[in-house]
Amino acid sequence: MNITKSQNKILIVSESNNDVVKNIKLWLVNCEYEIVNLNAEVDQFSIVKMNIVDSSFTFKINDIEYDFIEFRKIYFHRGALQLKDISGVKSFLEDIVDFKSAFEYYRMAYEISLREIVSNLMQQDNTIGNDNGGRINKIQMLESAKKAGMQIPKTIVTTQKKDVANFIGHHPKIISKSLDLNFIFHDNKRSKLVHGLTCEISVEDIQSFPDNFPLTLFQENIVKVLELRIFFVGSDNYTSAIFSQRSKYTEQDYRNYDDDFPNRVTPFILPLDFNQKINEFKRLTGLKTGSIDVIVNSLNEYYFLEVNPQGQFMANSEYCNYYLDKKTANFIII
């Protein structure tokens, strides 16, 4: 990318109280660029003008106007842009009676188109991360991993009970996980975090299924010896080994943390050929940063599970002394 003198700003889009971004900003304190931090939970984003031919556009964050060309880098981390309702559709919707359903469909289509326009405009060569609030198409990522030469668990996505029954007949242990975002909800009344995790599905579970259900992802359950978290930024990959199989709480999903006996986490060196496959996966997906989950079985076979383009990395960074916040900050200002 050719850097011009006008590119004197860095835009960071994140949720509030984001420890990763707080640490990155500390490393950027003395850099020569102006840091613009957009709080995805509070600040509003709106397009002012765009040029479809050259993909240039100006936009506002709250009431301050910017030109995209002013930004050397844009970094997304666990935040999605809040689009300002400049059409007034939402307030007007309250007065609709007879054609409310039709207008609601129009409004939803309008918002989807606006979201796609913004995402396409923001995803340019100088963008790191993406404007999706953590969302990513897991099936597309599995396909990309296959194309990159990595093994993936046998996977089906279905709406029918008979398909799952047939699947478990070929793979005695299977699991189910979210197709998209992982469900997360903080119960303020009980001060408890509720979130969806990967769960094992038994024959008894399947027997209780209705014949048809919403589209759901099922995978063979690979018995792991080791779990790897590979954080990448630019061309560099930093791998942590998580010994999650040693706890009954984390053997299925390490996010079901064992507070009494936390998982051991150590630095890990990937085999050269698998590291090359990771790099090919990054090329195919266009991701510049993210966290990849991999498991290793008893035959020393490596299986790609999924990628989080806005993955948290501070815990593994601290356990392994990787200083990933500093390295991400350096990548932002390169």
pLDDT tens digits, one per residue of 193-223: 666 667 888 899 999 999 888 778 889 999 8
What is the mean predicted confidence (pLDDT) over 308-316? Answer: 83
pLDDT of residue 185: 65
Confidence at residue 152, expressed as pLDDT on a 0 to 100 scale: 92
**Is residue 326 included in any domain, yes or no?**
yes
Both 108 and 24 in one domain: the answer is yes
Rounded percentage of the chain residues whose pLDDT exceeds 90: 36
Q: What is the pLDDT of residue 250?
A: 57
Does 27 map to a domain? yes
Within a 10 A sphere around the Cβ of 198, how many other Cβ atoms? 18
On the question of pLDDT at 266 being above 70, the answer is: yes
Dihedral angle sign, alpha carbons of residues 172, 301, 225, 193: negative
Whether residue 7 has pLDDT greater than 50: yes
Domain assignment of residue 115, yes or no: yes
Last residue of a domain, one of 169, 194, 221: 221
Checking if the pLDDT of 62 tops 50, the result is yes
Note whether residue 251 is domain-resident: yes
Torsion of CA 157, 163, 168, 174, to 10 degrees: 20
Q: Count structural domains, the chain.
A: 3
Predicted confidence (pLDDT) per residue in 150-164, tens digit? 999 988 888 889 889
Residues whose CB is less than 8 angstroms from the CB of residue 112 and which lie 6 or more positions away in sequence, other chains included? none
Of 221, 255, 272, at which residue does a domain stop?
Answer: 221
CATH number for the domain harbouring residue 268: 3.30.470.20
pLDDT in tens, 134-145: 567 888 899 999
Domain membership flag for residue 199: yes
Q: How far apart are CA 191 and CA 157, in angstroms?
A: 34
Q: Give the domain range for residue 169.
A: 154-221
Q: Do 215 and 269 have their domain in common?
A: no
Tokens of 151: 């093994």
| Mean pLDDT rounded to a whole number for the chain | 82
Average pLDDT for 312-334: 90
Give residue 232's pLDDT band: very low, low, confident or very high (50, 70, 90).
very high
Shared domain check, 14 and 124: yes
pLDDT at 287 over 60: yes
Q: What is the predicted pLDDT for the residue at 238?
A: 96
Indicate the burial class of 329 (C-beta count within 10 angstroms; 0-12, 13-18, 19 or more). Answer: buried
User: Of the residues 167, 191, 221, which one is the last residue of a structural domain?
Assistant: 221
pLDDT > 70 fraction of the chain, expressed in percent and rounded: 79
SS3 content of the chain, % helix, strand, coil (to 5): 30, 35, 40
In this predicted structure, what is the pLDDT of residue 213? 81
169 and 273 assigned to the same domain: no
Instruction: Give the model's pLDDT for residue 165.
Output: 93
**Do 198 and 108 have their domain in common?**
no
Point out the least confidently predicted range of 184-198, 219-233, 242-256, 297-311.
242-256
What pLDDT digit, counting tens, does each position of 72-114 carry?
999 988 877 777 655 555 544 455 455 666 777 678 778 878 8
For residues 211 and 170, membership in a common domain is answered with: yes
Q: Could you tell me if 211 and 239 lie in one domain? A: no
In this predicted model, which residue has the larger pLDDT, 287 or 264? 287
